């Protein structure tokens, strides 16, 4: 059974922005996440569903709640049963992803990006939904998301439908059977039952809030940024190692030379090289017998 992530410093989410580095830390399993206990944050989240209910009472028509989606906006949705079924129809309709699956790190990044966005409190979702996303992350239980789908088509609709479906106890999730073992796919319903967790029931508009966003594109771009940063730093370090091995001239990377060039990235790399080359050389070993 998968275990909650361990971290000495959990990332507290309160609706404010996070850094790309923080996102990557969570995606790679180095940090847990927590929702702030601040009363103002919780009041802001709870105000969203309350506003939606008030709009329904005052106006009677809300897109994606009492109407269909897209071109079906002219089709009215009436009756409590149909209103409750609409979010499920949405994620079921879009559950047609194909190709290979996103890896676990990418899936975790997708869930995290969606969570951060929803924590801003402007999407009309409940606190219970946010807490369920946090639970998935901290228990290392991640949706299986196919790589190929409608990324960018009015939101990452197809891949994000897999996040919505998993919250509702459907489709499959990646879980770690035991410490040190690779993740394996299991039916979501079985995993929830093993944890004593009941499937979440999406409230009006929550299906739309989960799916109509760019969390997949954003998550994959953030991970690509992380890999680029690593490769850039590694390339600079290999360059410094080559200069050291060839007894090159470290003054080629002098700060004054790069200050004359209008390229901040180039100057940053030169700083990396100076830092690496400034390390004292290892003491010579006396080979005298």
* CA diameter of the chain: 95
Could you tell me if 166 and 88 are in contact, meaning their C-beta atoms sit under 8 angstroms apart?
no
Assigned domain for 268 exists:
yes
CA distance 122 to 45: 8
One domain for residues 184 and 60:
yes
Asked if pLDDT for residue 185 goes beyond 60, the answer is yes
Which spans in 139-214 are helix H?
157-167, 188-194, 206-211
pLDDT of 2 reads 43
Token code pair at residue 209: 């809030």
pLDDT of residue 83: 82
Segment 71-122, tens digit of pLDDT? 888 899 888 788 889 999 999 999 999 999 999 999 999 999 999 999 999 9
pLDDT at 8 over 50: yes
Q: Are residues 200 and 69 in the same domain?
A: yes
| pLDDT score at 124 | 93
Q: Domains in the chain: how many in total?
A: 2
The DSSP secondary-structure symbol of 154 reads S
pLDDT at residue 288, as a whole number: 55
189 with 241, same domain: the answer is no
Average pLDDT over residues 239-267: 94
The whole-angstrom separation of Cα 231 and Cα 42 is: 40
Residues 97 and 143 in one domain: yes
* Pair of tokens at residue 165: 């479906």
Q: Which of 187, 14, 217, 223 is closest to 115 using CA atoms?
A: 14
The pLDDT of residue 7: 47
The answer to whether residues 108 and 184 belong to one domain is: yes
Residue 125 tokens, joined: 């979702």
Residues 114 and 239 in one domain: no
Same domain, 237 and 107: no
If asked whether residues 95 and 187 sit together in one domain, one would say yes
Cα 57 from Cα 60, distance rounded (Å)? 6
103: its two tokens: 């890896």
pLDDT category, 156, cuts 50, 70, 90? Answer: very high
41-52 in b/e burial notation, b at 16+ Cβ within 10 A? beebbeebbeeb
Q: Give the residue numbers marked as catalytic.
A: 63
Same domain, 162 and 249: no
Q: Which domain holds residue 188?
A: 11-223
Output the domain CATH number for residue 205: 1.10.275.10
- In this structure, is residue 207 part of a structural domain? yes
> 107 with 237, same domain?
no
Residue 11 CA to residue 189 CA, distance in Å, equals: 28
């Amino acid at each position: 059974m998968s275990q909650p992530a361990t971290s000495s410093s959990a990332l507290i989410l309160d609706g404010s922005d996070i850094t790309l580095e923080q996102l990557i830390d969570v995606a790679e399993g180095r940090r847990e996440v927590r929702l702030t206990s601040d009363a103002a944050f919780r009041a802001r989240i709870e105000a969203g569903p309350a506003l939606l209910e008030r709009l329904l009472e005052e106006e009677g028509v809300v897109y994606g709640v009492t109407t269909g989606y897209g071109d079906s906006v002219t089709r009215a949705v009436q009756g409590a049963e149909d209103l409750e079924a609409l979010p499920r129809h949405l994620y079921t309709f879009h559950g047609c992803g194909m190709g290979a699956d996103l890896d676990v790190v990418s899936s975790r990044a997708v869930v995290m990006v969606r969570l951060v966005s929803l924590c801003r409190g402007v999407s009309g979702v409940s606190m219970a939904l946010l807490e369920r996303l946090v639970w998935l992350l901290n228990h290392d239980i991640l949706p299986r998301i196919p790589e190929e789908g409608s990324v960018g088509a009015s939101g990452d609709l197809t891949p994000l439908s897999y996040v919505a479906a998993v919250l509702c106890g459907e489709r499959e999730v990646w879980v770690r059977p035991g410490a040190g073992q690779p993740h394996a796919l299991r039916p979501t319903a079985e995993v929830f039952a093993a944890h004593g967790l009941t499937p979440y029931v999406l409230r009006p508009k929550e299906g739309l809030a989960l799916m109509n966003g760019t969390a997949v594109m954003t998550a994959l771009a953030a991970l690509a940024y992380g890999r680029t940063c690593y490769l850039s730093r590694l390339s600079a370090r290999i360059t410094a190692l080559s200069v050291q091995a060839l007894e090159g001239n470290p003054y080629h990377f002098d700060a004054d030379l790069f200050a004359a060039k209008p390229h901040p990235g180039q100057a940053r790399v030169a700083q990396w090289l100076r830092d690496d080359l400034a390390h004292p050389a290892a003491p010579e070993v006396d080979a005298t017998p």
